[in-house]
Amino acid sequence: MSKLPEMLTIGQVAERSGVPHTALRFYEERGLIASVRTAGNQRRYARSVLRRLAFIRTAQRVGLSLEDVHEALTTLPDNRTPTKSDWSRLSTSWQVELDARIDALQRLRDRLTSCIGCGCLSLRSCSLHNFDDEQAADGPGAPKLKPAIEGGT
């Protein structure tokens, strides 16, 4: 009757996702993915875990921590269809962060681009050389650099 949704073994998931089985157990421990167990205590994964893994790896690749991802994913419950407001919560909280990162990356890239042009033989006009312009790292009460990556806005 109910056709079983074709569960995958950990080996199959590792194979198909490219994520090592050790990492899969680690992610499960961290609550990022879920599995059910066979009578003999072996993990079986729903196919949807591949989507989750793709999401996790992408997020990681752009510098988000597993905890960020965890927080995001737990707002999207596994057991029910996510509602519009589930998505809104996740989206809006992430978009600020993602936008900031995109912006930082683009500025970093653009600096480098303009440096090719300037040749940097005249250091005076090199924007990379003058990287601290925007920090005005001079006065006694100079603003700190961004305290690196951190959760939250």
Q: Is 81 in the site for DNA (CB under 7 A)?
A: no
Q: Any alpha helices (H) in 18-142, and if so which ranges?
A: 21-29, 48-61, 66-74, 84-118
Token pair listed for 111: 């600096």
Closer Cβ to a copy of itself, 3 or 41, answer by number: 3
Cα separation, 44 vs 31, in Å, equals: 15
Pairing of strands 43-44, 36-37: antiparallel
Choose from a copy of itself, DNA, none: what does 9 bind? Cβ within 5-8 Å by kind: DNA
Find the binding residues for a copy of itself in span 63-92 (CB under 8 A). Answer: 63, 81-84, 86-88, 90-92
Choose from a copy of itself, DNA, none: what does 89 bind? Cβ within 5-8 Å by kind: none
Choose from DNA, a copy of itself, none: what does 54 bind? Cβ within 5-8 Å by kind: a copy of itself
Token pair listed for 88: 């809104």
Closest separation in Å from C-beta 41 to a copy of itself: 26
Q: Is 10 in the site for DNA (CB under 7 A)?
A: yes
Closest separation in Å from C-beta 77 to DNA: 21
Closest CA to 58 of 98, 20, 93: 98
